[in-house]
Amino acid sequence: MELKYGGSVENQKTVLGHPSGLFVLFFTEMWERFSYYGMRALLVLFLVSTLIDGGWGWTSADALVLYGWYTGLVYLTPIIGGFIADKFIGYRNAVVLGALIMTLGHASMALEGLTSVFFYVGLAGLIIGNGFFKPNISSMVGQLYKSQGKEKDGGYTIFYMGINAGAFLGILLCGYIGEKIGWHYGFGLAGVFMFLGMLQFYFTQKIFGKIGLSPKQTEDFDDVIEDGVEKIGDDIEEAIEVAESSKVVRDRMVVIGVFSLFVVFFWWAFEQAGGSMTIFAKDYTDRALVGNAALTFKIINTIITVVPMLVITWVLAMLFKQTFKKFALANMLLGLSFVIIWAIVIWMLAREFQADATEVPASWFSVLNSLFIILFAPLFSKLWESKLNPSGPIKFAIGLLLVGLGFGVLAYGAAGIPEGAKTASVSLMFLVGAYFLHTMGELCVSPVGLSYVSKLAPVKFVSLMFGIWFTANFFANLLGGFTGSYIEPISEEYGLSIFFLIFTIIPIAAAVIMVILNPMLKRKMHGIE
């Protein structure tokens, strides 16, 4: 009997029309992103907060430069982690090792109050651990699907929904606890769920069959496997790879290179979310709400917290139904993580409703990106599987256009702020609008980009190509941090509106160029859609 999906027989059981293993990776990645985005939401705010408030009292410029280096390096180390996994330890071992190192990193950051050394050691742990984790779990998603078409695009979009479910919860809860209770509690909470995510993956990994094993383990597996279907499938895939002309491979690598270049423009602008946009939220946005406005926010905040939690819990229940009998321990650990997260959510919402007035945390606005992903990712997944599915380059162009327009909204909102003003009270709706447009752009670029790298790269070097893809993100984040650090001098001389216009014009210009390149790039894909 031929298996439809990669992995074990157990992986053929489906959840939402996709293999169960996709959702094992979904939840593992969800908790990793919880830890990453939870810490990312706090980093700049912690650094610029006064010593009295428990922060380090840094200038915005210094904080944004460190932010740029940190968010950049977490995308540079995957090229090393991808290579080590491909050649030596395999994807699965790399994911577990990376998760463990990141857990220790978060634990170290939780001790930042004792000495600053713990803070920097923790950051280093997160950067190194992410290098092992990030490219290899993405590679495993691609190998769950034997076809290279629309189904894989849909799978990556669902996986991306898991990424943003974790980001949503991490920003919401770590951000709230860090700002309202104590920075080290926020840093520490991020590590708890990273640890539980690692255990869940470790105890469920047999569902992947041969996928993700080290080269040595793969040889041993082939010696004892009874069902030769997977082996035959790999042999066929290898034969196809060998049969491809060097020109086809070269052309496809050129496409990956072009996508990697243009994704720099996208993330350079988009990653202002944790940097200059967080500064804008902290110092220039009216976040103090009283009376009906406070009550309205509390109700909205409750809805946008509870509804996604219910959706994710429903997905969890479907995964339980398909895998609990075979992987009971992993499911119980995953269930425990949800019990803890529900308890924290209920405590947070109850605490807010007891207060007469409320101040929206500056980190809260980043939640909107993840919320919109959770709401709209299924819609985009269906869109990419329909006749309305545009080509990859056009998707990139749309994404670049939308991120530029989002900054156009901020530029308009900041137009009334005088040059050199240190504070203002701009309506929070401008940030809401910007995050909505940015998210729609992200859905056109990021999951689609992951899928195209998986489809265009030679089979033996998929993980390495993911590493190169993430290297583009390194340059984007580093440039974004350095550009964002000029928010004060630019706003003092030209106004905050001009600062945001820089991030409006450049992505839109890149979008126009991508549209022009579309016919050439489609030819160089040689049939990959």
Task: Look at residue 398 and tell me if it is in a domain.
Answer: yes
pLDDT above 50 (res 255): yes
Quick check: helix, strand or coil at residue 45?
Answer: helix
Count CB-CB contacts under 10 A for residue 379: 11
Split at pLDDT 50, 70, 90, the class of 163 is confident
- Is residue 9 assigned to a domain? no
- What pLDDT does 399 receive? 95
* Average pLDDT along the chain: 87
In this predicted structure, which of 66-80, 160-174, 442-456, 458-472 has the lowest mean pLDDT?
458-472
How many whole angstroms from its chain centre is CA 214?
Answer: 26
pLDDT of residue 213: 86
Contact call for residues 467 and 78 (beta carbons, < 8 A): yes
Residues 500 and 430: their CA atoms lie apart, in Å, by 12
Number of Cα atoms under 13 Å in the Cβ half of residue 109: 34
Alpha-carbon span 191 to 172, nearest angstrom: 15
DSSP code string of 145-203: BSS-SHHHHHHHHHHHHHHHHHHHHHHHHHHHHHHHT-HHHHHHHHHHHHHHHHHHHHT
Residue 212 pLDDT:
87
Over residues 453-473, mean pLDDT: 76
What gap in Å lies between CA 276 and CA 476, rounded to an integer? 14
8, part of any domain: no
Give the separation between CA 381 and CA 105, rounded to whole angstroms: 34
DSSP annotation of 50 reads -
Structure tokens at 260: 């990697």
**Residue 145 confidence (pLDDT):** 86
Q: pLDDT (tens digit, 9 = 90+) per residue, 104-127?
A: 999 998 887 778 899 999 999 999
Q: What are phi and psi of 358, to 5 degrees?
A: -145, 145
| pLDDT value for 171 | 92
Q: What is the structure's pLDDT at 158?
A: 84
Residue 520, both tokens: 């050439």
Q: Could you tell me if residue 322 is inside a domain?
A: yes
Q: Two tokens at 50?
A: 């006064």
pLDDT tens sequence across 480-491: 999 999 998 999
β-partners of residue 359 are 288
**Is residue 210 in a domain?**
yes
Q: Which of 526, 527, 528, 521 is nearest to 255 (CA)?
A: 521
Among 43, 122, 76, 164, CA closest to 479? 76
Q: Which residues contact 23 (CB under 8 A, 6 or more apart)?
A: 15, 162, 315, 318, 319
β-strands 288-289, 358-359 pairing? antiparallel
pLDDT of res. 311: 87
The conformation of residue 88, written as its DSSP 8-state character, comes to: I
CATH number, domain with residue 311: 1.20.1250.20
Given this model, what pLDDT does residue 226 score?
41
Q: Which tokens in the block code for residue 384?
A: 């990419």
Rg (C-alpha) for the chain, rounded Å, is 23
Residue 148's pLDDT is 62
Judge whether 422 and 283 are in contact, CB under 8 Å: yes
> Residue 1's pLDDT is what?
59
User: How many structural domains are present in the chain?
Assistant: 1
Q: Which residues contact 223 (CB under 8 A, 6 or more apart)?
A: none
Dihedral sign computed on CA atoms, order 175, 177, 179, 180: positive
Q: What is the rounded distance in angstroms from the CA atom of residue 198 to the CA atom of residue 31?
A: 8
Burial 124-150 (b: 16+ CB within 10 A, else e): ebbbbbbbbbbbbbbbbbbbbbbebee
What number is the average pLDDT over the span 437-465?
A: 81
Domain limits for position 50: 14-524
On whether residue 350 sits in a domain, the answer given is yes
Residue 239 has pLDDT above 50, yes or no: no
- Asked, for residue 27, whether it belongs to a domain, the answer is yes
Cα(69)–Cα(154) distance, integer angstroms: 32
**Higher pLDDT residue, 270 or 217?**
270
Q: What is the pLDDT of residues 358-414, one digit of tens each?
A: 889 999 998 898 888 878 877 887 887 777 788 889 999 999 999 999 999 999 999
- Out of 20-29, 231-240, 452-461, least confident range: 231-240
CB count in 10 Å sphere of residue 339: 8
In a domain, 44, yes or no: yes
Name the most confidently modeled range: 31-40, 148-157, 447-456, 458-467.
31-40
3-state secondary structure of 426: strand
Handedness of CA 434, 150, 3, 231 (dihedral sign): negative
The count of C-alpha atoms lying within 13 angstroms of the C-alpha of 265, restricted to the half-sphere facing its C-beta, is 27
For residue 378, which phi and psi values (nearest 5 degrees)? Answer: -60, -35
